[in-house]
Structure 1
């Protein structure tokens, strides 16, 4: 059973990373300064995992439910033409 957005945010930091890796579906990647940002979809919300490139560790999670937050990924999405 998947957690809701608020339940996910209530998890300790270490458990958030494990939860996203186990239950999330990878969607896209982008760069922001020295960070690689991976986007995942987890049922009722999206989550970004920010990876600092010098040490390659999970630095931060940003979860959201608004589709407007996906705008940063539009340049990186390549959809097939029909």
Structure 2
């Protein structure tokens, strides 16, 4: 999946898509919540999506979606990824 297409989906559809087709990679703590990292295969190296539970909305929400390896720094102590 291309990042632009994923981002064009409604939020609820993004969450369903990630949960149905994404590969769970890791989680980290951020502020007062757990953030879960998923990978969606696609052209090139695919995309990464962070999901978190939003208490105020009582639902999972997409916090961030990206194709770059730079945001993965927060997960590096939990992951062993192939070289980019």
TM-score by length of 2: 0.78
What CA deviation, in whole Å up to 9, does each residue of 1:9-50 have, x standing for no partner?
A: 000011000000011000001110111100001011100002
Larger radius of gyration: 1
Q: Over aligned residue pairs, what C-alpha RMSD do you find?
A: 2.2
Identify the structure with the greater helix proportion: 1
Structure 2 gaps of 5+ residues are: none
Match of 2:70 in 1: 68
What CA deviation, in whole Å up to 9, does each residue of 1:49-68 have, x standing for no partner?
A: 02246876213331001111
TM-score by length of 1: 0.80
Matched length = 77
